Amino acid sequence: MTDGRKLEKLFKLHYRQMYRLATILLHDDAESKDVVHDIFARLLDDRTDLREDKAKSYLLTSVRNRCLNVIRNRQIQGRVEHLYLLELDTTITPTEQFEEELKALHKGIDQLEPPVCRDIIMKHFRDGITFNEIACHLGVSETTVYKHLRRALSQLRTYLKKQ
Amino acid sequence: MNKTDRLLQMLEQPQRYTADEWQEILADDECRELYTLMSKTQSAIDAARADEDITDEMIDAEWERLTKPHYSLFTIHYSFYKIAAMFIGVLMLSGIALAAIHIVGQRVEGEGNHVNRSMIQQEGITTPSVPVISPDTIPQPRIFENVPLDEVVSEIALYYNKEPDIQNGQAHELRLYYKWNRKDDIGSIVEDLNHFDHVNLAVEGDRLTVKP
């Protein structure tokens, strides 16, 4: 039996990684928390044993499957709204290569030039501000924001290729 | 306007465009590559945010969230064991928190799907072996946590192909906790939400209206 104390230990041990995987796939803080929450809520009701040596891979696979279900159940508009990856079964599975790509992108974002490019990337992708709002804030047209964004993304593309 | 500008513009309001328009623009190699790059950039930023934000305190709080309501509801569930459907909502207005527990007794018989409305996970006993991906499973419930009413309504409206129509100026000040089962029809969702004080929704043709 997976008792409460054992589950609490597993929760605290694996939460970070589970949440991280969910948020990489779903791009949403609340939904990612819910995915991890639901997995453990189910385990709390479940009376069967979760073997400790298999726990980590079981938990991470559960996260992945739940996230894939969330994505599958959305129509194309909902998918692009959350910027989900388009190729579900091949590229969406975070592999070592995907992790490397994320690392390279993270490094690339820090080095974007000129600063306005980095600013736009952070405002949009981290703070969730729309391009339209960024344009208003900077006092430029949306097309100008798109131009900076494309410039930023093309720099990021070279970082991806380098790694 | 060039096609990548159009893609970026479409991404600002994805629901305004049809599935065909999306398929078409994403079939273009250049647009698809740009989109994929944006998706990965989002993942990279989210991963970094996860590394920074997930503190031990937050994990403890999430564990509390998991266990506290779980066991209290568990007790309620068994003392009213005939009651199969319930939902709990908390609505906050101007700093005053009102808790509303709504127990739907009539839905007991023969409507097993409403059990999911309960916060107790009743997904059946399964062996925790490594799960297999099944293509068409039940939609995941969406939990709105302290989300303004207008955002809740907009999201729900879009899912059911309705136009949100916010006529209540206070809709943004009303925040709610609500568990939305996407497989429920819009009528029962509206009925549920209308149990909150100050919430008055109606489906009118192809609009989902928030009345004053």
Beta strands B163-166 and B207-210 are parallel
- Give the range of the structural domain holding residue B31, as residue numbers without chain letter: 18-53
Last residue of a domain, one of A32, A54, A81: A81
Out of B12, B47, B60, name the one closest to residue A102 (CB): B47
Closest residue in B to A58 (Cα–Cα): B130
The answer to whether the complex's ipTM is over 0.85 is yes
Q: Do B66 and A37 touch (CB under 8 A)?
A: yes
CA atoms within 13 A on the CB side of B46: 26
Answer whether residue A89 is part of any domain. Answer: no
Average pLDDT rounded to a whole number, residues A127-139: 95
CATH number, domain of B99, equals 3.55.50.30
Place of tokens 């293509």: B135
Residue span of the structural domain in which A73 resides: 4-81
Both tokens assigned to A85? 């990856």
How many domains is chain A built from? 2
pLDDT in tens, A18-49: 999 999 999 999 999 999 999 999 998 876 67
Whole-number pLDDT of residue B177 = 78
Q: What is the pLDDT of residues B156-204, one digit of tens each?
A: 888 888 888 888 877 877 878 788 888 888 888 888 888 877 888 888 8
Is A36 part of a structural domain of the chain?
A: yes
Evaluate whether residue A66 is within a structural domain: yes
Looking at the DSSP bridge assignments, the partners of residue B87 are B102
Listing DSSP states for B146-188 in one string gives EEEHHHHHHHHHHHTT-EEEE--GGGGT-EEEEEE-TTS-HHH
Instruction: From chain B, pick out residues whose CB is under 8 angstroms from the CB of A143.
Output: 1, 5
B125, B177: one domain? yes
Flag whether B194 is in a domain: yes
> Where does a domain end: A81, A111, A141?
A81
Question: Could you tell me if A119 and A157 lie in one domain?
Answer: yes
| Beta-sheet pairing, B142-148 with B175-180 | antiparallel
A101 and A40, same domain (yes or no): no
CA dist., res. A146 & res. B100, Å (int): 46
Question: How many structural domains comprise chain B?
Answer: 2
Q: Which of A33, A47, A160 sits opposite B125 (nearest CB)?
A: A47
Q: If you search the block for the tokens 């906790």, which residue do you land on? A: B177
CA distances B87 to B65, B99, B100, B174, Å, are 16, 11, 9, 18
